[in-house]
A and B are shown apart, each in its own frame.
Chain A
Amino acid sequence: MNLLTLTTALLVLAALAYRVGQRRALRLRTDQRLAALPSHYGAYVALWCGLPAAALLVLWLIGESQIVRLLVVGALPAESQGLAPAQLDLVLDEVARIAAGTNLFEDDSLAAAAARYSALRGISDLAKAVVVMAAAVAGLVAGQHLVVARLRARDAVERLVRGALMAASTMAILGTIGIVASMLLETIRFFQQVSPLAFFTGLEWSPQTAIRADQVGSSGAFGAIPVFAGTAMITLIAMIVAVPIGLMAAIHTAEYASPRARAIIKPLLEVLAGIPTVVYGFFAALTVGPTLRRLGDTIGLDVASESALAAGLVMGVMIIPFVSSLSDDVINAVPQALRDGAYALGSTQSEVIVRVVLPAALHGIVGAVLLAVSRAIGETMIVVMAAGLAANLSANPLQATTTVTVQIATLLVGDQVFDSAKTLAAFALGMVLFMATLGLNIIALRVVTRYRQAYE
């Protein structure tokens, strides 16, 4: 019996258990007062039936391969048994392939082990099905016997649901921890090869370490300042575009626009947020970049066709809806009572907005801007396509520049070895990026929460 059939059977049984529990509760209800609704008793029995069995199944699946492996190793030829763990894994993979009939090479010495493997898998599958279904049936019977009128089934079910919800929320935290841990290890390996001081203060970025010593450009310099500077510049340009436009758009939609205009403008602005960044990327690279270059030519400026300005401008456009949508929300959240108070003192509409509404919404707006900044720092596709690769340390936005995200993307594209500083540098950059955006998000959330507290 394969896994899909088994899970389906389990679900069917749980559904049956639900009916059984519900029926029993309904029968009890004819002469007693129940402590919960019949559906709660149904859910209660279904959980008794399904949960222990499912837990057992999961444990079995985790333990199965380990146990089978241990038993198979005994059947391997003597010379294979003494191999190092990594090589032993390869041999065992081959055994599994022979058993499945997908092996590439004939190797009779492994035939015995393969036969053993097949036999063990067969036994395991059967045993698994029997044990799990037995557990489910036992759970159903036990649960059904537990159903009495005074059983507080709702409490039990809700406790369990609460537990499940909590587990789901912990998932996000575990995900973050996992990501950090995976980057952290590689980052540490990188800093064993390149000193942190050189990385954080060096002015030259040239990560192309050569495979052969005599190759051109084999030096490999890992001074990340030019890369950080590129990110900072493009982010700055993007924010110069996005913050004023986004904020003014938000003020318009929240305060001035008629309900009908608002109903049209807001979704249209949010369409911008739905455009894939890769589309923005070629808009920047094929339209904005060359246009800027031509414009520069006409007024005698030397503009690179891949310029920080082009990437920054387009990124700014991309970020407008983040700023406008969040700001619009916080401006709308400013209590009407404050506006009324200001109007009643004889304020004009612009005075109300500038002197009362915006200061009251300031925390939220700052939060929105910080979230937008962290979004700009992490944005990859636009800069990959439009900003260039050369790490020039220059304050001229008309030149090509590069960003942290671009470097990560280029360092990890293609075949790489995971022990060279070049590849590992990507993780160090990623770590810095992660820390920066994490810090910004934490600050932004704090600011926003503090703002919310003021009105609740």
Chain B
Amino acid sequence: MIRRVARLLALLAAISLAGCENWQSALQAHGASAISLKHLIIFIVAVCSIVWALVMVAMIYALARRRAAWRAPTELIPERERRMGRIVTACVGLTVVIISIFTLASFFTTRALSVAGSDDLTIRISGMQWWWGVQYLRPNPKQAFDTANEIHIPAGRNVHLVLEGDDVIHSFWVPSLAGKQDLIPGRINEITIRAERPGIYRGQCAEFCGLQHAHMSFFVIADEPQDFERWAAAQRAPATQASDEEIAAGRDAFMSKPCAACHSIRGTKATGTSGPDLTHVGSRKTIGAGLFETTRGSLAAWIADPQTLKPGNNMPLVPLAPEELRAISAYLASLK
């Protein structure tokens, strides 16, 4: 009884939680495939719950029913054995029917998921320890551009994602939009997503990938088509020029320190590829793969001590004088 009440409470808690906004949930589906997956999930869970309830009723009845007079353990009644045999066979037959239905339902759901058009927007996602490289591929290579940890897509349009693992295996998962797909070194996987309505959807690496597996998240931001085009045009542009002295000092410090060896800022000498592209880092919502909101303060904190904020990540600590740190964080924050 206590268990029942407790379980009910747990369920209620879950339902109330599901009610509030969760931007990373398979039950809050806003993408085409996530919606059809949610329907499948609800269907299978409902059928399975009924099956479980029936089995429990049968078991409780079997345990609690009244018995006739005592008899020796080996004294079996042939008629009853035959009847039990028929019932068990019928139950097994029912099992076969149910799993056949599930198999067919899965098959057709899968088929419906793998639709891709030829004119889809194509984005290459590369998984690295512990951040996401995002490359917008365009028919005209001049229009292609890089960003990181934040994927903008036009709402209501199919977007074709090409998934590549650069170091270890990662898994790309935005539960509100689609099921997950692995990024495997030496292989290329593909997935098509479509956000039905504008919004911000959180995703996270779902395959264990080392120390900071827990902090390898990203955002998919679905914009209205015109907003998306505006955003893409801004991202294609090289980095903004320094607008004041401190920012210029920050840019110079960035270039002379080893920062430029790992990070790229288009339009400058910085062309490193081991770390995220920083051309428009100031325009992104978060830094450190979803770790902090992007502010000048969080940028400075991150540069000053990355190993305390995200232990084990691949950003080495670079010795900087306080004024250099201030200047560099101002410079990065200015890269809108």
A and B: interacting chains: no
Question: Which of A's residues lie within 8 Å of B, judged by CB?
Answer: none
